[in-house]
Amino acid sequence: NAGVMQNPRHLVRRRGQEARLRCSPMKGHSHVYWYRQLPEEGLKFMVYLQKENIIDESGMPKERFSAEFPKEGPSILRIQQVVRGDSAAYFCASSPTAETGNTIYFGEGSWLTVV
Amino acid sequence: AQSVTQLDSQVPVFEEAPVELRCNYSSSVSVYLFWYVQYPNQGLQLLLKYLSGSTLVKGINGFEAEFNKSQTSFHLRKPSVHISDTAEYFCAVSLPGGTSYGKLTFGQGTILTVHP
């Protein structure tokens, strides 16, 4: 059973470009979470999605960032007009349900570098 | 809002020595507690979690943690470390409730370095 798959693992973008990060949850998991790890900081929650629904986006920056989890295909975290401060590791996690006790499984992360 | 403080940013230790990584949390309500490990350029792996019941929780790779409600702590321990335990360790909390469980609040991390 494959784990949480994230791609690309490393992405370099110039300032002003768009970055798209993809996350395929574990098989059978319909709940996806995105976290960001900035240099010298811990991981911060960004957004929680179920299929076709955003459940909690309280950690998402108000501008330039969006996330989706369509009925078919991976979850996408999209960053428009990237700036140097967006350089970070972005982690996706998944769980089968939101039921207490479920293990939240993390992917290996996507490292975004903005030059 | 809840918060997590990991009291040591770096912990150096010699191989086969015991180690304790400290974690304190702040919350006005009951929380669930987790320890994750992150090896370089990899994702996070769950070591153990406390949801309820016995305050001593055993996890993978010989790690254990003890929940202390009065001191709001959840320290991670291992009686004898190996070189392969060198990694960054994160303490995290989440709140009960369907949409809150997976919304983790992490500490800043503790880098454990095991020397031969």
List pLDDT tens digits, range B100-113: 778 899 999 999 99
Low-confidence winner among A13-17, A20-24, A33-37, B40-44 (lowest mean pLDDT): B40-44
For residue A99, the chain B residues in CB contact (below 8 A) are: 98, 101
Q: Which helix (H) or strand (E) holds A2?
A: none
Distance CA B36, CA B23 (A): 12
Which chain A residues are closer than 8 Å to B35 by Cβ?
none
Q: pLDDT tens across A23-46, in order? A: 999 998 989 999 999 887 789 999
Residues of B (78-107) whose Cβ lies below 8 Å from A? 90, 96, 98-99, 101-107
Q: What is the CA radius of gyration of chain A?
A: 13
Judged by CB atoms closer than 8 Å, whether chains meet at B102 and A101 is answered as no
Residue A73 has pLDDT above 70, yes or no: yes
**pLDDT, position B53:** 87
Provide the number of CB pairs (under 8 Å) joining chain A to chain B.
65
Which residue among A44, A91, A98 places its CB closest to the CB of B102?
A98
Which of A91, A100, A106 faces B51 most closely, judged by CB atoms?
A100
Helix, coil or strand: residue B66:
strand
CA atoms within 13 A on the CB side of A68: 7
pLDDT score at B98: 67
